[in-house]
Structure 1
Amino acid sequence: MKNFLIVFLVVFTSACAQDKQMLAGETEWQKEMNADFKDATKSPLKDKDRKRFKGLDFYKFDSTYVVTAQLKRTPEAKPFKMKTTTNRRPEYVQFGVVTFTLKGNEYQLNIYQNLGLIEKEGYEDYLFLPFLDDTNGNGSYAGGRYTEARLPEGDTMVIDFNTAYNPYCAYNEKYSCPIVPRANYLPLKIEAGVKAFKKH
């Protein structure tokens, strides 16, 4: 019995260590994402997928995709109901337009505020940046991805596409996810952030 217990502890300990190793990421953001996806209280994964979960697939971190953008605020923009994957229509407003250079070309994206979310503590300066690119359906989630930013004091802000993540409905159809506006299509491959999720 004593020997059995020792063997069990060794196997259990090495399995835990293996889990931790498998959930490791290249960056702190990747590690936090993997930890959240493994955590039953935070994970968007279905139970069967979470139990098998070894870590998200990420593109390799690439500093090319960390860009400094010019922000042009659009205070005259009117609130609108953003389409989602369900009948839910959350209220957003276009906060501004961000302009940046990536791989030698200049691009623009609309950046939004969720009018319900900014009422919540800690989200007062939260900005939402959904986008489509040429990896969608060919490496990344077909419906596009999201990234986030915080309201800058001035007119420049850093956008890190290495933190691009999938909508929750990429993992579980019970979620209602904003559909990326077509205006936010980037005609190049953004090989950064989270890749498409392979369901088992």
Structure 2
Amino acid sequence: MRRLLLICLLFITKQLLAQSYQDSIVNHRENYKKEFLDSKSSPLKEADLSYLKFYEPDVQYRVNCIFKKSENVNPFNMSTSSGQKQEYYKYGVLSFQLQGKNMELNLYRSLSLMRVPQYKNYLFIPFKDATNGKDTYGGGRYLALETTDIQNDSVILDFNKAYNPYCAFSDGYSCPIPPKENHLTVRIEAGEKIFGKAH
């Protein structure tokens, strides 16, 4: 009887944690939509928000990563959709397992954003995967972390928070193109999907 009760309690706890996680992703996406309305440079108006599409939250795409900081690196010019270059430097590498495979993604810091107090800890993770051009934007998607998220050389990376560059919504923007080192061969069925309105 006690064993059955314990199993039931564990099941209920797991269900509650899963629901709590899903709720946190829903809240994250609502805040994401709100930011479009608060930004003067936003490509979207309130009427456009209904065209934003997302995969259902899936905890398997919330992965624990080992972080290795890059040493003695020089800035480089990251290509953008407009042909312009933006200066970044490689901050480090994230190693993790997903779908039974070992993977890596590079973290970058923008030299221009480092000079802005509110973005001084900002880490940029542009990436591509096998969903691009089908379910998700062909130019890849982005993730963001902060240096303070990394503790004891580890950090959680949540692909459910992957978002589209502004170029996915409108022309006229200069969006960083994910470097080849950040091209994943698997399908990342998490985060934002392709925008539902033509432009």
Shared fold, TM over 0.5: yes
Q: Compute the RMSD of aligned alpha carbons.
A: 2.0
| Cα separation, 2, equivalents of 1:119 and 1:162 | 29
Which amino acid letter does the alignment assign opposite residue 74 of structure 1?
A: S
Partner of 2:16: none
Which amino acid letter does the alignment assign opposite residue 72 of structure 1?
A: K
Query: Is the radius of gyration larger for structure 1 or structure 2?
Result: 1
- Percent identity of paired positions between Structure 1 and Structure 2: 40
- Deviations along 1:33-89, one digit per CA (max 9) or x if unpaired, are 2223355736322x6xx5354251000011111111111111222100111011321
5 Å matches for 1:139-178?
A: 139-151=135-147, 152-178=150-176
Which amino acid letter does the alignment assign opposite residue 187 of structure 2?
A: K
Partner of 2:197: 199
Provide the aligned length of Structure 1 versus Structure 2: 174
Which amino acid letter does the alignment assign opposite residue 27 of structure 2?
A: E
Task: Return 141-150 or 83-92, whichever deviates more.
Answer: 83-92
Partner of 1:31: 30
| Cα separation, 1, equivalents of 2:25 and 2:135 | 18
3-state secondary structure, aligned to 1:93:
strand
What TM-score results when the alignment is normalised by the length of structure 2?
A: 0.81
Gap regions ≥5 residues in structure 2: 1-23
3-state secondary structure, aligned to 2:92:
strand
Higher relative contact order (CA 8 A, sep 6+): 2
Whether the 8 Å contact between 1:71 and 1:157 is mirrored in structure 2 is yes
Partner of 1:44: 43
| Cα separation, 2, equivalents of 1:70 and 1:34 | 31
Which amino acid letter does the alignment assign opposite residue 103 of structure 1?
A: Q
**Richer in helix (by share):** 2
Whether the 8 Å contact between 2:67 and 2:95 is mirrored in structure 1 is yes
Partner of 1:96: 92
| Cα separation, 2, equivalents of 1:86 and 1:52 | 23
What TM-score results when the alignment is normalised by the length of structure 1?
A: 0.80
Gap regions ≥5 residues in structure 1: 1-24
Partner of 1:74: 70
3-state secondary structure, aligned to 1:122:
helix
